[in-house]
Structure 1
Amino acid sequence: MPLLRVRLRLPDRPGSLGTVARTLGAAGADIVQVVVLERSAGRAVDDITVSWPQSASLDVLWDALASVRGLEVDGVWQTNEAPGVFADVEVVGQMAANPPNGVIALVEAVPKIFGGDWAAMLGRDGLVVHASWQAPDPLTLPVVPASGARAFTGEDGVRYAFIPVGRSGQALLLARVAAPPFHQTEIERLIQLATAAEAVLGVGTAV
């Protein structure tokens, strides 16, 4: 069954997540993982990864979630993997085992780990060093606002995460289509992964 990621805003009180879990189960979804992205002002933002029957309409899922009082759905999009920490460790291990192909390993892994559609490593000159196999061809790069790690939305509505890789002058660009913006928690996790990549591969090498 395909995996879907569901981003929800719900009341941060006992029983709220249980209600969502029962609702998802009744609709036919099997919960794989729950990640809390944020808790503030009595509300929580959660990413819930579920397996969803191939033949079932997403309208069933949306209608079920709409029936939960106080729940807001930020988005539902397809993903390839639950956003656990072990995938991050695995890709760092792949980079360490084969440094010459470290950038390729990183760029090919992050769309799967973060529920993105494609990724690219940009060089000091802003040109593409390597793009993941899912990237559009030809690849039109967005205008990146200002500097530093950030989430932003392109003029075409695509959601982007832009992560400088240490002092190398290069940057990781991750794109997500038809999905909510990257959350600050995801940006921080991408920064950690980029920092690990720089430590493993070294400044002035492939990254």
Structure 2
Amino acid sequence: MLRVSLPDVPGSLGRLASAIGEAGGDIEAIEIVEKRDGCAVDDVLLELSPERMPDSIVSACNALDGVEVLWISRYAAGGNLFMDLEVVEDLTSSPGDALDTVIDRIPMAYRVDWAARLRRGAGLDGAEIVRTAGGAPEELAWPSIDGPTRLPDDDVTVRCAAPMGPDVVVMGRRGGPEFLDSELARLAHLLELARTIARS
């Protein structure tokens, strides 16, 4: 998966796609993650032929005027991406399980390695883990937050958290990229939707 910043003008995405193709990358999906200050931040899921190195993709992208590769890494989940609307569809199919289902779906929807739902309790720093998905740590400290927030990382994993009623949902990415404001906002909205659906 490649996260790239490019000018938000007609033709930019086409030039990016051409450069990736010429460097040996096969694009499977593109998602616009954020738009800001005349730029777009896109996540590009691609497949490389075995003889190609990721460096060639990075060089081809960075050679384009106004384009900057922010992050590139292997993405083991493949091309079957759950986006927010698909998650909501899953939540509404079984409202009674919505609070668990949203945790289960977060790793795919946000391209993170793990997610966990915490509740105030007697565990580490007053946190009890209620539900996890992916390779979540066995212990997590309670983050005192009022809204969606980036948390300090541990030099390996970047983390963020958002309240879900009295609970808190934490998610983490090993190696980055950093969480964008748009991702924090999406997470807050999705968690509130899960709570609303669970009450229905």
- TM-score where L is the length of structure 1: 0.79
Q: 1:188 to 1:119 in 2, by over 3 A?
A: same
| Cα shift readout 1:72-107 (whole Å, capped 9, x = no counterpart) | 1111231634463432223322441xx2x4333221
Cα distance, 1:191–1:53 mapped onto 2, change above 3 Å: farther
**Is 1:177 matched up with 2:174?**
yes
> C-alpha displacement at 1:178, in angstroms?
1.1
Shift of 1:43: 2.5
Task: Note if 1:134 corresponds to 2:135.
Answer: yes
- In the alignment, the residues of structure 1 paired with residue 45 and residue 65 of structure 2 have an alpha-carbon distance, to the nearest angstrom, of 21
The 3 A distance-change label for structure 1 pair 39 and 90 is: same
Matches of residues 124-163 of structure 1 in structure 2 within 5 Å? 124-125=120-121, 126-136=127-137, 139-141=138-140, 144=143, 146-163=145-162
CA shift for structure 1 position 30: 1.6
Counterpart of 2:42 (choices 42, 46, 58) is 46
Q: Report how many aligned residue pairs link the two structures.
A: 191
**Equivalent position amino acid for 2:30 in 1:** Q
Shift of 1:35: 1.2
Residue 62 (str. 1) matches residue 62 (str. 2)? no
RMSD: 2.5
Partner amino acid, structure 2, of 1:127: E
Kept in 2: contact 1:8–1:71 (CA 8 A) = yes
Secondary structure at 2:183's aligned position in 1?
Answer: helix
> C-alpha distance in 2, partners of 1:90/1:55?
39
Give 1:71's aligned residue.
67
What is the alpha-carbon distance in structure 1 between the residues aligned to residue 66 and residue 3 of structure 2? 14
Partners of 2:180 and 2:26 lie apart in 1 by: 24
TM-score by length of 2: 0.82
